[in-house]
Chains A and B, each alone.
Chain A
Amino acid sequence: MTIRLCIFGNSHVAALRDAWLRHPERWPNITADFIGAHRNGLLETQIDGQRLAPFTGQSATYFAAINKCNTVDLRAYDGFVIAGALVSAAVTLQLYREARWPELPSLAKTALKKRLLISDNAAAAFCQAKLAARLGPLFATHLRSGGVTAPIWITSQPRLSAACRARGCSPSKTLSRALRSGDGPALSALFDSAADAACQAAGARFLAQPEQSRQSALLTRPCFMNGAIRLTGLGREKQPKQDFMHANATYGAAVLDQIAAAALP
């Protein structure tokens, strides 16, 4: 039995497409088409009779340049994947910058003069609400409201590359503080559960970042990130060296394995 998948995404879909192009034989029971668009390109579409087409010039440009198409027949697929799409663990760090909550192990040692203490329930609800407004869940809702009934999976955006620490250029003080304080696992777990709830509310299922790719709970092992390529229609254009956000084909393959496990009976 072969499952026909349409894999949507923003720049993070490039890792999955790269893995697929390199090792298509690894997933013999899947056929996959990849539809990528930067920024809000996926949302700037309309669904008419289950055909998805861009309605802004920007979106049409993405569809033409990256995907070489101007419309997607949604009826041709047994399931849909939305890759990355801003469903990112950075949301929990955004909350962590201002607040603490009882589930965090560091709470006992934290002076709360500047930071707010919020409840565990509030932390979960705030993260869920923030994630629900991100591209992934919004696009899933868009597909559902357009009549799509097939399964939709939303894959996690990869956590930042651990290489950012090795090179001494940690991109945020909050992340460094979280890693030092021992709050990483709790923040990571909060993200996974909040993303799961946000995706469910949008009619989709969340696929968390593959365990083997994680490092220190909030980072991604460099071997899953080094050599990432950009989402373009021009082939293999590498991400700049300072990019710590995008994953490579090894990561893409791990995610495709997850998708296959979820999609195949």
Chain B
Amino acid sequence: MTKNQTPYATLPARAFWRTASPRHDIYQPATQLSSELKIATAGSCFAQHISDMLRATGLTLLDAEPAPAMVSPALARRYGYGLYAARYGNIYSARQMLQLLQEAQTGKPNPRYVWPHKDGYVDALRPRIEPEPMASIDEVLALRGHHLRRVAELLGKTDLMILTLGLTEVWTDRATGRAFPICPGICGGAFSDDLYVLLTQSHSEILADLTEILALLRQFQPKMQLMLTLSPVPLSATASAAHVLLASARAKSVLRSAIGEFTEQNIGTSYFPAYEIITQPSFGGPYFCADHRQVSKAGIALVLDIFAQAHGLTPATDASIHPVKPSEDELICDEILLNSFAKPAPAI
């Protein structure tokens, strides 16, 4: 066999490190986007950037729970409006997304997932959706029931769901397996080893969850496509006993691997490489702020640029990306609360 007869002989430039152009070759969309396509977003805090990015390209982003018109965009965001296609708050894990879809199918909120907090109550499945707790359990359940109905309506008309995953460590209810967006006791409820247990999702568990998510999405809308992205934002903290850097690498690797296998196996699914764009030096990055965790504005702009270019869309000016212009630390993030538990670093 000569050199010209190997499988590498006919590969395009993008297959080789030396000749690949990261900006132009990294993302080859499987899905054609147009303003007619109805798109929904969900995911970890980084997904808020994805939502803003989509809005900036003039695509039709669904919003099943829009804030009342009289409310300013900034205030609306504080109350969980306008972040995603519905007010589900941040969805960090595949398990959380799966269980939300299951709950939306039944439409019945469970009082077990109402946590006391300060002098009121919060929805344990989105404890920071509002800045202050609600007055009663009934109020929390009424709001959740309404939310579930809106989520079901949303899914019934969604053509493309864009889901951004971020974590593999998930705090769950020991008895029921229900996954929470944040550890119980941090912004509601009281932590107890008897009640709650940490689940660190494996590749196969994530793959299984993604498979079930796709099946459920298509029960709502048989032709729904699923685009997955991976948040490049490292873990704020880990409960795994590992160093947070190692736990981060583990989470992102396992998620990336499961997403890769899932999208290779399922028609109508795709992956948008925001994670690689932000973290790989080939793109001129990595694009992080001074804390080495939050994604920089330049990184967000690059992600937008690559996405828009690949889809033949025109990115709007920076002003329209963020009607509110939140800075990185103004993203509505639950996980960031874990930072408050960090003890001062020892003197070297």
* B-contact bits for A105-131, CB 8 A (1 contact / 0 none): 001000010001111111001100110
B12 at the interface (CB under 8 A from A): no
Query: Secondary structure at chain B's binding surface: helix, strand, loop or mixed?
Result: loop
Would you call B65 an interface residue if the criterion is a C-beta within 8 Å of the partner chain's C-beta atoms? Answer: yes
At the interface, yes or no: A95 with Cβ under 8 Å from chain B? yes
Would A94 and B70 count as touching, CB distance under 8 A? Answer: yes
| Residues 175 to 217 of chain A near chain B (Cβ within 8 Å) | none
Interface assignment of B205: CB less than 8 Å from any CB of chain A:
no
Residues of B within 8 A of A65 (CB): none
- Residue of A94, A95, A117 with most chain B CB atoms under a 10 A cut-off: A117
Residue A102 CB within 8 A of the other chain: yes
Task: Evaluate whether A126 and B75 lie within 8 angstroms (CB atoms) in the complex, with A116-B66, A118-B68 already known.
Answer: yes
A119 touches B70 (CB 8 A): no
CA distance A125 to B74 in the complex (A): 12
Within 8 A of A (CB), among B267-325: none
Interface residues on B, range: 20 to 34
Cβ contact within 8 Å between B70 and A126: yes
Q: Does A72 contact B (CB under 8 A)?
A: no
Residues of B within 8 A of A91 (CB): 70
Residue of A nearest to B146 (CB): A117
Q: Give B121 Cβ to nearest chain A Cβ, in Å.
A: 11
B234, chain A: closest CB distance, angstroms:
32
Per the bound structure, the CA–CA distance linking A91 and B68 in Å amounts to 12
What is the total number of residues of chain A having a CB less than 8 Å from a CB of chain B? 19
Q: Are A98 and B69 neighbours in the complex by a CB distance under 8 Å?
A: yes
Task: Return B80 CB to nearest CB of chain A, in Å.
Answer: 9
Q: Is the CB of B139 within 8 A of A119?
A: yes
Which of B129-137, B179-187, B192-200, B240-248 contacts its partner? B129-137
The reply on A3 being an interface residue by CB < 8 A is no
- Smallest CB–CB gap between A223 and chain B, Å? 32
Q: Which residues of A contact B72 (CB under 8 A)?
A: 129
- Chain B: minimal CB distance from A49 (Å): 34
| Contact B75 A119, beta carbon cutoff 8 Å | no
B114 CB to closest chain A CB (Å) equals 13
B143 CB–A CB distance under 8 Å: yes
The answer to the question of A99 belonging to the interface, with a C-beta cut-off of 8 Å to chain B, is yes
A132 to chain B, nearest CB (A): 10
Q: Are B134 and A119 in contact (CB under 8 A)?
A: yes
Binding site for B on A (CB under 8 A): 91, 94-95, 98-99, 102, 107, 112, 116-122, 125-126, 129-130
